[in-house]
């Protein structure tokens, strides 16, 4: 491929002006004469473009020329109007070339003056040249003998020279020489090449060296040589035909046979063409149907809500229905944001056994179900896998809640009876402990008097002083334990009891949250601050306001108790309407929970605050209350990052009242 520098040099040898730009009008090259004579200067701080250097009319002409060249047209010209001389326009030729890294549109033309000003001498020489060419062409037309032609050739070529009287013409054709050779070695020459073979040459010079030969004279001789070569080829062809007149009949006969074969073959081809047209029509219909099917399948593929990807055996994504997944990415990078393949990757099993595999995995806080389907090639080898990814987090949450509800339902059947059986003897214990304490308080002064006279007195095999010091503590511990049993039994009764037909209040969650924050302020403010983000115009719903308030108090207090003493906590409470559900989120930045704890927090009697008096019934009761309201509760948590409880309560069609938050 020729370099741009060489191309520029060749053009500038024949044309004064040259300009090169790309398809966007970005200037690649501009000759100095063009900049000087046409004022094509551009601002020094900008990259030069056609818009910067051309006036509007020239810019339109150049743009149209580029478009015409792009459309495949040849012989395209553009008009350049000088900024200093608007009455004259320079026609410039337009050509397109392509280099290794760019597109080039070349605009080139001659000086304006050279188009309008030709000297009289040049005109005279041009007339002589044309006259000579015409004379030679006419002599070729009329000549019937090659020897006569070359003998008479000097009188036709001489007048085309600058000094006809002193011009000499020498010709050689088929080793036969004609005319007189030039006296000196300074001459112009035209070679005679007929049918690809060198047959001779024509030389023109002067009788002495006093006259110099002109480039225009060489140009004239070259044109005459071209005309002669064509004439000689025609003559040799005519001679060849004349020599073979005897073969004409045989040739005509063969030609007639060939015509018959051609006609027969044309008939066969016409039949084949009809068959091809029928096949083409059928294929067009097939292609049209296939294209429609492809578009439908592509639309269905892209419309799938769940992610789907085609993966090659090297785990590269070949295709996907999600725009944010790039072809060539590793599957574990595209969907799971991992740097290494999944430890339980099912692709190896699919490739080995050639069967589909369904598996569930957990990524962060999401549960995903993967359907891995093998894709076979024509040899029935697995060429890749088609993987469907479905988010089953909500299903898992519902499944866990159903399991929790089943456990609580079974437990609730036992709670009432157990609570009654425990409470009856505990009532005796509570009453008797009070009597025992009163009796001891009455008896101790009497025993003190007896001890004064019997210093070795022992009660229950304990020295009296030790017994007296600790007996009341033991009685108080018994009373405290009995009261604790009563608290647990009351909690069990509350947990097991369902209030049928009491969900009749119009519950305004935003109002209840305002009351809740005031109610728990004293207990929470030392550990955390409460931030409320309540949705405007949140719908109300039918329920039990007291129980919902109990849920909110329990969750906010639990959030405060989960915050370590060494940090200032933040409890963020938000409300929103999502899919006809009132959604309450209570998030803290506390210590968080591990997976095992998170799965057990709604179980009755499970508590992480046993040493602080926790009974483990608070969240179990919360779960039951939300269940009574037809809702659900979920929790997400990370160690050292915090916990978020999410309560969702449905809004019935009749519950269309809304509240505004100031």
CA distance 176 to 396: 107
What is the structure's pLDDT at 312?
86
Which one-letter DSSP state was computed for residue 549? H
CA distance 528 to 567: 9
481 pLDDT band, cuts 50/70/90, is confident
Tell me what percent of the residues of the chain surpass a pLDDT of 70. Answer: 81
Q: Same CATH topology for 120-243 and 308-391?
A: yes
Instruction: List C-alpha distances in Å: 51 to 18, 21, 40, 95.
Output: 17, 12, 11, 20
β-strands 103-109, 538-539 pairing: unpaired
CA distance 347 to 383: 11
CA distance 365 to 363: 6
CA distance 360 to 390: 9
Are the C-beta atoms of 245 and 252 separated by less than 8 Å?
A: no
In b/e form, how buried is each residue of 150-187, taking b as 16+ CB within 10 angstroms? beebbebbbebbbeeeebbbbbbbeeeebbeebeeeeb
Q: Taking the domain 505-659, which CATH number applies?
A: 3.30.565.10
CA distance 336 to 466: 69
At 551-610, the pLDDT tens digits run: 998 899 888 888 888 888 999 999 999 989 999 999 999 989 888 888 888 887 677 765
Query: Looking at the predicted structure, is the pLDDT value of residue 112 above 70?
Result: no
CA distance 326 to 320: 8
What is the structure's pLDDT at 240?
65
- CB count within 10 Å of CB 17 equals 24
What are the boundaries of each domain within the chain?
4-116, 120-243, 308-391, 396-496, 505-659
DSSP assignment of 168-217: EEEEEETTEEEE---SSS-EEEEEEEETTEEEEEEEEEESSTTSPPPHHH
The 8 Å CB, 24+ separation contacts for 335-338 are: 335/307, 335/309, 335/389, 336/363
CA distance 633 to 398: 9
Q: Taking the domain 4-116, which CATH number applies?
A: 3.30.450.20
Alpha helices in 15-55 (DSSP H): 32-38, 50-53
Phi and psi at residue 589, in whole multiples of 5°? -110, 40
At 11-36, the pLDDT tens digits run: 777 778 889 999 888 988 888 888 87
What is the structure's pLDDT at 660?
52
CA distance 581 to 539: 9
CA distance 248 to 126: 47
Kindly state which CATH superfamily the domain 120-243 is placed in. Answer: GAF domain (3.30.450.40)
At 383-434, the pLDDT tens digits run: 888 888 888 877 776 676 666 666 656 666 666 677 777 878 888 788 888 8
**Residue from 614, 611, 617, 571 nearest 590 by CA:** 571
What is the structure's pLDDT at 365?
66
What is the structure's pLDDT at 242?
62
647 pLDDT band, cuts 50/70/90, is very high
Average pLDDT for residues 52-72, to the nearest whole number?
A: 87
DSSP-derived 3-state class of residue 18: strand
What is the structure's pLDDT at 508?
92
Are the C-beta atoms of 598 and 619 separated by less than 8 Å?
A: no
In what helix (H) or strand (E) does residue 658 lie, and over which residues does it extend? strand 658-659
Q: Taking the domain 308-391, which CATH number applies?
A: 3.30.450.20
At 245-282, the pLDDT tens digits run: 666 677 778 778 888 888 888 888 888 888 888 888 88
- CB count within 10 Å of CB 284 equals 10
Alpha helices in 71-187 (DSSP H): 112-116, 120-142, 146-157
Higher pLDDT, 115 or 190: 190
Tell me what percent of the residues of the chain surpass a pLDDT of 90. Answer: 9
Q: Tell me the average pLDDT of the chain.
A: 79
């Amino acid at each position: 491929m020729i370099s741009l520098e060489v191309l520029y040099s060749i053009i500038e040898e024949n044309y004064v002006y040259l300009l090169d730009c790309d398809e966007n009008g970005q200037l690649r090259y501009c000759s100095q004469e063009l900049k000087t004579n046409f004022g094509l200067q551009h601002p020094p701080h900008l990259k030069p473009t056609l818009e910067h250097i051309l006036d509007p009319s020239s810019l339109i002409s150049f743009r149209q020329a580029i478009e015409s060249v792009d459309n495949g047209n040849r012989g395209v010209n553009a008009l350049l109007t000088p900024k200093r001389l608007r009455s004259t326009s320079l026609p410039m030729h337009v050509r397109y070339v392509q280099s290794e890294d760019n597109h080039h549109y070349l605009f080139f033309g001659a000086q304006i003056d050279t188009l309008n000003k030709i000297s009289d001498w040049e005109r005279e020489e041009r007339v002589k040249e044309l006259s000579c060419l015409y004379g030679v062409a006419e002599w070729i037309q009329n000549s019937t003998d090659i020897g006569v032609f070359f003998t008479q050739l000097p009188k036709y070529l001489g007048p085309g020279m600058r000094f006809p009287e002193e011009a000499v013409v020498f010709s050689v054709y088929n080793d036969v020489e004609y005319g007189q050779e030039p006296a000196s070695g300074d001459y112009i020459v035209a070679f005679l090449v007929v049918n690809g073979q060198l047959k001779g040459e024509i030389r023109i010079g002067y009788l002495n060296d006093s006259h110099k030969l002109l480039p225009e004279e060489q140009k004239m001789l070259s044109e005459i040589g071209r005309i002669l070569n064509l004439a000689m080829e025609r003559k040799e062809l005519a001679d060849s035909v004349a020599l073979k007149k005897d073969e004409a009949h045989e040739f005509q006969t063969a030609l007639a046979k060939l015509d018959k074969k051609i006609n027969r073959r044309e008939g066969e081809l016409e039949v084949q063409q009809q068959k091809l047209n029928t096949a083409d029509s059928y294929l067009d219909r097939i292609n049209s149907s296939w294209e429609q099917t492809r578009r439908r399948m592509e639309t269905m593929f892209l419309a799938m809500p769940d992610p789907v990807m085609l993966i090659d055996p090297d785990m590269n994504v070949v295709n996907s229905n999600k725009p944010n997944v790039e072809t060539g990415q590793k599957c574990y990078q595209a969907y799971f944001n991992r740097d290494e393949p999944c430890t339980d990757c099912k692709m190896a099993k699919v490739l080995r056994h050639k069967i589909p595999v369904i598996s569930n995995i957990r990524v962060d806080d999401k549960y995903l179900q993967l359907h891995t389907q093998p894709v076979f090639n024509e040899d029935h080898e697995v060429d890749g896998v088609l993987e469907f990814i479905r988010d089953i987090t909500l299903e898992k949450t519902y499944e866990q809640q159903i399991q929790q509800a089943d456990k609580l339902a079974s437990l609730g059947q036992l709670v009432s009876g157990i609570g009654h059986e425990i409470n009856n003897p505990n009532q005796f214990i509570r009453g008797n402990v009070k009597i025992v304490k009163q009796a001891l308080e009455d008896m101790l002064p009497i025993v003190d008097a007896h001890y004064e006279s019997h210093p070795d007195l022992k009660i229950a095999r304990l020295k009296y002083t030790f017994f007296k010091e600790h007996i009341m503590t033991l009685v108080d511990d018994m009373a405290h334990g009995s009261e604790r049993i009563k608290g647990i039994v009351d909690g069990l009764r509350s947990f097991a009891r369902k209030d049928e037909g009491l969900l009749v209040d119009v519950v305004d969650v935003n109002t209840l949250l305002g009351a809740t924050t005031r109610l728990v302020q004293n207990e929470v403010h030392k550990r955390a601050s409460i931030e409320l983000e309540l949705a405007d115009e949140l719908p109300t719903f039918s329920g039990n306001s007291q129980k919902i308030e109990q849920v909110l108090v329990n969750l906010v207090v639990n959030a405060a108790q989960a915050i370590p003493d060494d940090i200032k906590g933040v409890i963020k409470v938000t409300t929103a309407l999502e899919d006809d559900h009132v959604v309450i989120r209570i998030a803290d930045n506390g210590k968080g929970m591990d997976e095992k704890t998170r799965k057990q927090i709604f179980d009755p009697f499970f508590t992480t605050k046993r040493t602080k008096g926790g009974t483990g019934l608070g969240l179990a009761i919360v779960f039951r209350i939300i269940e009574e309201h037809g809702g659900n509760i979920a929790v997400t948590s990370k160690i050292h990052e915090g916990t978020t409880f999410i309560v969702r309560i449905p809004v019935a069609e009749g519950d269309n009242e809304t509240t505004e938050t100031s």
